[in-house]
Amino acid sequence: MLQTTVKKWFRDKNSGFLDNGSGSDIMVSKSDLTNCEFLKVGVMVEFECYSDKRGLIAKKVKLLPLNKSSGQNNKGKYNAKEFRPGVMT
């Protein structure tokens, strides 16, 4: 299973894109989410990646726990690089 961050999520389209570094973004749709109804930009996910005529597609996308995704020991201090719940882009 691969891990990356959510780059874009369109609630009105129930789909979005996962970051793929310098490669093309990975498409994800709501039907491929396993433990959530939608994604927020900046959160970490775990997924399986497949290729089809549209490009790279994420399947079996699982939202990772916040403490595992940040990789930091948060002590209540705000870090500008952290994902802030409630902020939608």
Extents of the domains making up the chain: 2-68
Cβ-Cβ contacts under 8 Å for 28 (sequence gap 6 or more): 6, 15, 16, 17, 18, 39, 45, 47, 57, 58, 61
| The pLDDT value given to residue 51 | 93
CATH superfamily of 2-68: Nucleic acid-binding proteins (2.40.50.140)
Q: Does pLDDT of 83 surpass 70?
A: no
| The pLDDT value given to residue 86 | 52
pTM, two decimals, is 0.72
Cβ-Cβ contacts under 8 Å for 8 (sequence gap 6 or more): 16, 17, 25, 41, 89
| The pLDDT value given to residue 77 | 44
pLDDT digits (tens, 9 = 90+) for 24-72: 999 999 999 998 889 999 999 999 999 999 899 999 999 998 764 444 4
Average pLDDT of the residues in 14-18: 95
In whole angstroms, give the CA distance from residue 81 to residue 89: 15
Cα dist. 66→8, 13, 43, 53, 74 in Å? 18, 25, 7, 33, 10
Q: Does pLDDT of 84 surpass 60?
A: no
